[in-house]
Structure formats: C-alpha cells, structure tokens
Amino acid sequence: MKPIELYSLGTPNGQKVSIALEEMDLPYNAHKINIMEGDQFKPEFIKINPNSKIPAIVDPQGPDGKPLSIMESGAILIYLGQKSKKFYPEDPRLQSEVLQWLFFQMGGIGPMFGQFGHFYKYAKEKCDHPYPLERYTNEAKRLLKVLDTRLEGRQYLVGEQYTIADMAIMPWVRCLDVFYNGKEQLGLDQFKNVNAWVDHLMKRPKTARGMEVLKP
C-alpha cells in the first residue's frame, strides 16, 4: 500500500485525521501546512483543497486505483474508515449513530468551540462587547452537557467500540483547556463523564501519538 499524503497542522481538525491514520495503521507521510503563514493559499495546496482549509489528504491508491484528493475532515474520516474497515461499523444502526455524532461535531462542536476560542482567547482586545463571548460560552456549555449526558455509563460515544466519532470530537474538547485555556470560563470540571472519556482515549498510545503530529 502506498502511503497516504496528509496535508495538515496539529489543530483539532488536523488531529482527528492523524489520530485515524495512526489508529488504522495506514501508512502516511505528513506535510505541514502552516496556516499562520498562508500555506493554505498556495496554488499547490488549492489543487488539493479548493477551500484552502486543513486537513486534506491525497490517497495515491483511491477506490479505482487512481489518486484521490479529499477535503473536509469528516469526509476524510469516513473515507479512511471505509478504506481500513476499522473504527467505522458496518452494522447499519451503529453506522447511523456514528454519522450522527460525527455530524454533531462538524455542525456544532467544531464551529461553536472554535468561535468560543476566538472570542475568549484572540479577540478580547478587538471586541469589547460581552454578547459574542456570552453566546459562545453558553453554547459550548450546552454542547458539553449533551456530550456528558451521552457518555453516562459509556466508554465510547457509540456502542462498545472506539469509532471515528470519538476521534472527531475528543481533540476539540481537549482544545478547550489545553489550547484555549477555557477551563474556568466553561467550568470544565463539572463535565465528569466527558473528562473521564478524554482521559480514557488519551491513554491509547496511537491516539496520543496522533495528537502530536504536525504540532504548530
């Protein structure tokens, strides 16, 4: 199997894919796209991802044997799960649940946590109106409560096995404290089930290794 080419950076969206590649034992080469320096707008990257966002991959051996470029981290996770036949259940009910929680991350966790981080960490001096931070703090807390309820009595989000849904969400949750320093603002200690889940996943050597790929 020829290695997959990963174009990314160690942000939560990038970490999801590097975790998957590590856990699925898929060979890959990692290429840093420094979004702080505008690498994502270079013509060679735009050919891979017209939306100029990380991560993106090129599989030199796509389903038809020809190279395939894939953008959007959720689409990449589904593709890798199908390719490796790991962490993406074949059972239709479980597969539906995995997709629901994956889309929950793509449509809710990622955008809302990202906006929280923007206004809490980066825009304090640019925006002195309290509304944006209040809005995204409250929404981040609401989403964490949804997760905490789901994880009551569970080790994983779906069924009894680790899936791409866990891989998609965990880096974003960890980012709230480790990168955004939002532990006190969000009261992260109250979400006991979420914290136990993050700790459990981070004890997986391949997941921990995936979190370190292409660190900024």
50 preceded by a cis bond (ω within 30 of 0):
no
Q: Name all domains of the chain by residue range, CATH numbers in brackets.
A: 4-87 (3.40.30.10), 92-209 (1.20.1050.10)
32 bridge partner residues: 8
**According to the model, what pLDDT value does residue 113 have?**
98
* pLDDT single digits (tens) 153-201: 999 999 999 999 999 999 999 999 999 999 999 999 999 999 999 999 9
Mean pLDDT in residue range 25-31 = 98
Apex 204 CA angle, 214 and 171, nearest 5:
50
Record the pTM.
0.96
Tokens coding 46? 């735009």
**According to the model, what pLDDT value does residue 175 have?**
98
DSSP string, 155-214: SSSSTTS--HHHHHHHHHHHHHHHTT--HHHHTGGG-HHHHHHHHHHHTSHHHHHHHTTT
- Token pair 């990168």 in the structure block, residue: 179
**According to the model, what pLDDT value does residue 58 have?**
98
Apex 41 CA angle, 40 and 43, nearest 5:
110
**According to the model, what pLDDT value does residue 162 have?**
98
* pLDDT single digits (tens) 57-116: 999 999 999 999 999 999 999 999 999 999 999 999 999 999 999 999 999 999 999 999
- Cα–Cα nearest to 142, from 99, 94, 184, 109: 109
**According to the model, what pLDDT value does residue 128 have?**
85
Tokens coding 34? 């420094």
